């Protein structure tokens, strides 16, 4: 009887210790996740709070998070100086056209690498992988000379045309993603299509490409975000002010910061002086990143599902 009671007590203590350990580990995990959330959300929250600060609050070192009043005039100044609607439409069209080129051509090239054997295949694929680690700064000069020789030294041509040849901004990565997906696609689907009389092109467009939804979503989201945030190449080729994209207009607002106190007083008292403070800069930054945030929230479910199923298998 004593042995039974002792064994029951021992099992109870072990179970209770296990529960306490699990709770402690869970608490530590939540603390770490909370710390990570603070690290990632701090810049975004700081941007939002600063964007609605008045010049008086910005110049007051005692005010950081709790402001006296919301000052939305910063957004009006930023909106006007960004020439927001025309710049937004120009940037959206550029990103969408480039993304269409990337998704369509990179999926086609990736399918060729996954399904066909040809002379020099491994060498070409090695070159593809190497191009992923070569920074654009090292090849921008010969690329610029090439497009100059073609009569396109400036404009959107040098930015958009490479995406329709499987190159462009990180095109090699998209080819790799599609190749990895097509390697996992059952060959029996293509064999059945061939029996039904489908040509290789028909098999790709009717079976392989529609089946690669996860890779399409991942490539689309990444391509849009990367093209939207890209500043280096557009800064080389888009020299006309009427061609500038939204992110390219931010430096002009940042450089205008630092007005004197008299301008601040005039603005607060209802004068016509537009004060370029940190609030205006943060409001302009939020207006620039807002379309990308909306785009991600719309496609976040599909994007997460695509990440889980894309590029996780190999030969």
Give every CB contact of residue 179 below 8 A, 6+ residues apart in sequence.
Answer: 110, 111, 113, 114
- Evaluate whether residue 37 is within a structural domain: no
Across the range 175-202, mean pLDDT stands at: 82
Look at the chain and report how many structural domains it folds into: 1
Tell me the Cα Rg of the chain.
Answer: 27
Residue 147 lies inside a defined structural domain of this protein: yes
92 assigned to some structural domain: yes
State the pLDDT at residue 75: 87
Q: In this structure, are residues 165 and 159 in contact, taking their beta carbons and an 8 Å threshold?
A: no
Six token digits for residue 47:
């941007």
Per-residue pLDDT averaged across 231-258, rounded? Answer: 80
Which two tokens mark 59? 């110049």
Tell me, yes or no, whether 101 lies in a domain.
Answer: yes
Q: For the purposes of burial, counting CB atoms within 10 Å of the CB of 277, is it exposed (0-12), middle (13-18) or buried (19 or more)?
A: buried
Please report the pLDDT score of residue 12 as a whole number: 56
Q: Is there a domain that residue 103 lies in?
A: yes
Would 163 be classed as within a structural domain?
A: yes
Report if residue 26 sits inside a domain: no
Give the rounded percent of residues in the chain with a pLDDT score beyond 70.
Answer: 83
pLDDT of res. 265: 39
- Mean pLDDT for 283-304 is 82
Give the mean model confidence (pLDDT) for residues 30-38: 79
| CATH number where 202 lies | 1.10.3720.10
Q: Residue 242's domain spans which residues?
A: 78-246+305-309
How many angstroms separate the Cα of 266 from the Cα of each of 63, 68, 271? 21, 19, 5
CA torsion through residues 198, 200, 205, 210, sign: positive
- Stated pTM of the model: 0.76
State the pLDDT at residue 94.
92
Q: What is the pLDDT of residues 50-105, one digit of tens each?
A: 888 877 777 777 777 777 778 888 888 888 888 889 999 999 999 999 999 888 99
Whether 14 maps to a domain, the answer reads: no
pLDDT of 219 over the 80 cut? yes
Is pLDDT of 209 > 50? Answer: yes
């Amino acid at each position: 009887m004593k042995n039974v009671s002792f064994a029951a007590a021992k099992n109870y203590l072990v179970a209770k210790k296990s529960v306490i350990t699990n709770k402690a580990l869970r608490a530590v995990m939540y603390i770490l996740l909370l710390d990570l959330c603070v690290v990632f959300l701090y810049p975004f929250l700081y941007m939002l709070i600063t964007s609605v600060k008045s010049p008086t609050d910005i110049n007051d070192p005692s005010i950081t998070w709790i402001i006296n009043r919301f000052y939305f005039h910063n957004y009006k100044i930023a909106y006007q100086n960004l020439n927001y609607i025309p710049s937004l439409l120009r940037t959206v069209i550029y990103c969408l056209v480039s993304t269409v080129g990337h998704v369509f051509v990179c999926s086609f090239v990736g399918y060729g690498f996954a399904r066909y054997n040809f002379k020099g295949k491994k060498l070409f694929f090695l070159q593809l992988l190497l191009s992923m680690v070569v920074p654009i700064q090292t090849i921008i000069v010969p690329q610029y000379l090439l497009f100059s020789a073609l009569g396109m030294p400036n404009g959107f041509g040098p930015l958009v045309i490479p995406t329709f040849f499987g190159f462009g901004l990180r095109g090699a990565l998209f080819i790799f993603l599609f190749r990895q997906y097509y390697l996992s696609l059952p060959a029996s689907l293509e064999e059945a299509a061939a029996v039904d009389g489908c040509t290789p092109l028909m098999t790709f467009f009717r079976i392989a490409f529609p089946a690669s939804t996860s890779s399409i979503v991942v490539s689309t989201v990444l391509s849009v975000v990367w093209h939207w945030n890209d500043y280096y190449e557009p800064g080389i080729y888009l020299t006309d002010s009427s061609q500038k994209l939204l992110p390219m207009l931010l430096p002009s607002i940042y450089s205008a910061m630092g007005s004197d106190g008299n301008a601040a007083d005039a603005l607060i008292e209802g004068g016509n002086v537009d004060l370029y403070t940190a609030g205006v800069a943060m409001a302009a930054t939020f207006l620039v990143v807002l379309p990308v945030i909306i785009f991600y929230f719309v496609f976040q479910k599909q994007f997460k599902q695509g990440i889980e199923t894309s590029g996780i298998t190999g030969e």
